[in-house]
């Protein structure tokens, strides 16, 4: 427990100033997160074979390009471009010419999928943060992730009797999931109305927040399944007591991407 608290304090000391400063400092911080997450994913042995060094280097460059996609010299973000996605897809090509099958098409699709999903998520962090009042929107998304995860764990530990998906995550319960989504919806909705905007219809905000809370739990389960398939408890031990970068960003990944999709739909309908 002591180790877990110390890790959380150290992480807060590093992350909070970067979050508050924004701009190029935040952008570089997000790139650093991406690199650490990439190192965690390429070492997995069950999901893919041992990746050749040249593929690892190309993959890392593709990830960084995806994260910084749409940028100009002033570091203002325009979001994911077809160039970034197309570059990631280029990772499929080396598999064609690898006659020794050290880098298979399965490996290529796995790496390309990871870069597309995580790269898009990290790119969106920058896109949102660089908008007007973007720091408060990011805090809204983080609140959904943290409150949903925390109360799902607490309530699940106290009264959880019905397993959610035991084959993926044996400790998660239906009771915890419902409680997590309730708290992960109510408090962020109040925050959204008070801090971000009261112009958006309250019903729309409630539905959006509830969907994002559920997506966060799906993201948690998705990355848990990757760990279970690779027979590991954590992606790494970079944060003792907490695990790796992907262990901390699992639910936020799906929440952020989901938020971008929902906002795009709302903008189309308004």
- Reading the chain (270 residues) residue by residue, the pLDDT tens digits are 566 677 778 878 888 888 888 888 999 999 999 999 999 988 887 766 678 888 889 889 889 988 988 754 344 445 667 777 777 777 788 877 766 667 888 888 888 888 889 999 999 999 999 887 899 999 999 999 999 999 998 998 888 788 888 888 888 889 999 999 999 999 999 999 999 988 889 999 999 999 999 999 999 999 999 888 888 888 888 877 677 899 889 999 999 999 999 998 888 876
Which residues are paired to 169 by β-bridges? 165
- Residue 16: CB atoms within 10 A of its CB come to 10
Of the candidates 159, 146, 97, which has an alpha carbon nearest to the alpha carbon of residue 255? 146
Indicate the length of the chain as a whole number: 270
Distance of CA 258 to the CA centre of its chain: 11
Look at phi and psi of residue 243 and say left if phi exceeds 0, alpha if psi is from -120 to 50, else beta.
left
Residue 181 CA, distance from chain mean position: 18
What pTM, to 2 d.p., does this model score? 0.89
DSSP state of 198: S
Q: How many CA atoms lie within 13 A of 19 on its CB side?
A: 14
Domain borders along the chain are 1-131, 133-270
> In the chain, at which residue ranges do the beta strands (DSSP E only) sit?
163-165, 169-173
Helix axes 202-229, 134-159, angle to 10 degrees: 60
């Amino acid at each position: 427990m002591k180790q877990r608290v110390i890790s959380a304090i150290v992480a807060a000391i590093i992350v909070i100033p970067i979050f508050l400063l924004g701009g190029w400092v935040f952008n570089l911080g997000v790139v650093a997160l991406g690199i650490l997450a990439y190192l965690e994913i390429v070492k997995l042995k069950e999901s893919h074979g041992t990746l050749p060094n040249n593929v690892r280097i190309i993959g890392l460059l593709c990830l960084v390009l995806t994260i910084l996609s749409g940028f100009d010299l002033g570091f203002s973000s325009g979001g994911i471009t077809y160039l970034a996605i197309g570059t990631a897809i280029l990772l499929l090509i080396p598999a064609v010419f690898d006659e020794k099958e050290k880098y298979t098409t399965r490996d290529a699709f796995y790496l390309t999928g990871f870069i597309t999903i995580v790269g898009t998520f990290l790119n969106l962090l920058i896109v949102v943060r660089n908008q007007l009042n973007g720091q408060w929107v990011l805090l809204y998304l983080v609140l959904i992730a943290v409150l949903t995860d925390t109360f799902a764990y607490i309530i699940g530990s106290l009264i959880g009797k019905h397993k959610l998906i035991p084959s993926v995550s044996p400790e998660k319960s239906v009771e915890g999931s419902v409680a997590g989504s309730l708290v992960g919806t109510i408090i962020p909705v109040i925050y959204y109305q008070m801090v971000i905007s009261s112009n958006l219809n309250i019903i729309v905000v409630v539905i959006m927040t509830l969907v994002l809370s559920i997506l966060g739990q799906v993201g948690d389960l998705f990355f848990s399944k990757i760990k279970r398939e690779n027979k590991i408890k954590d992606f790494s031990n970079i944060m003792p007591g907490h695990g790796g970068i992907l262990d901390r960003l699992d639910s936020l990944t799906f929440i952020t991407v989901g938020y971008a999709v929902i906002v795009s739909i709302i903008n189309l309908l308004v």
